[in-house]
Amino acid sequence: MRTTGDDAMVSGEAGPVAYRPARAEDFAAMAEIDGSFTTDSVFEVTAADGVFAIRETALDVPLHKTFPDEPDDDDGDAEPTRTVVAVAGDELCGFLQASFAPWNARVTIRDVEVAPRWRGRGIGSALMRHAFDFARECGAVHVWLEVSNINAPAVRAYLRMGFAFCGLDTTLYDGTESAGERALFMSRRVD
């Protein structure tokens, strides 16, 4: 995975957290971040008469999800990419991976994760601001992402960040460990 940008350190909302482009030595720590979550609600997708509806639904028992390891998706394409890490001293607190597709002027959030003990401190929002900086540098019109309907904490965070639902795929996860979940697509225009 290529990274672009300089090594400038930027203060974060979480205190002594700095943000910078990922370096080769960061990728092992990125792979070790616990991206699991626990939620007491999900975003239920219903379909009737050709119309889909999405609504948050409370669960009787909290759900814990641990994502399976993903294969390396470096398919050799020439799309510009950016990987930004959040660090506090020697600790990697989180990261964001994004790519730009010139054909539709879209930055896609490939992955964003914040280590559990650093969640709720503004790190995810700060990482997303770096994605929007990247989008502006590339001339992107919008930033787009995919999230599972059961990842209610992430969906709520994206909604707070100004993202809106723009589509869904009811079959994307079929044949995977996440079968039965629905892929929600969200986007936000670049200002």
Beta bridge partners of 108: 99, 144
pLDDT in tens, the chain (191 residues): 333 344 444 444 455 899 999 999 999 999 999 999 999 999 999 988 888 999 999 999 999 999 877 665 555 566 889 999 999 999 999 999 999 999 999 999 999 999 999 999 999 999 999 999 999 999 999 999 999 999 999 999 999 999 999 999 999 999 999 999 999 999 999 98
Q: Is 50 exposed, middle or buried (0-12, 13-18, 19+ CB in 10 A)?
A: exposed
- Residues 74, 107, 141, CA angle at the centre, nearest 5°? 155
The token duo for 123 is 């790190």
CATH numbers and ranges of domains, the chain: 10-189 (3.40.630.30)
This model's pTM is above 0.85 = yes
Q: Is 18 exposed, middle or buried (0-12, 13-18, 19+ CB in 10 A)?
A: middle
The token duo for 135 is 């989008």
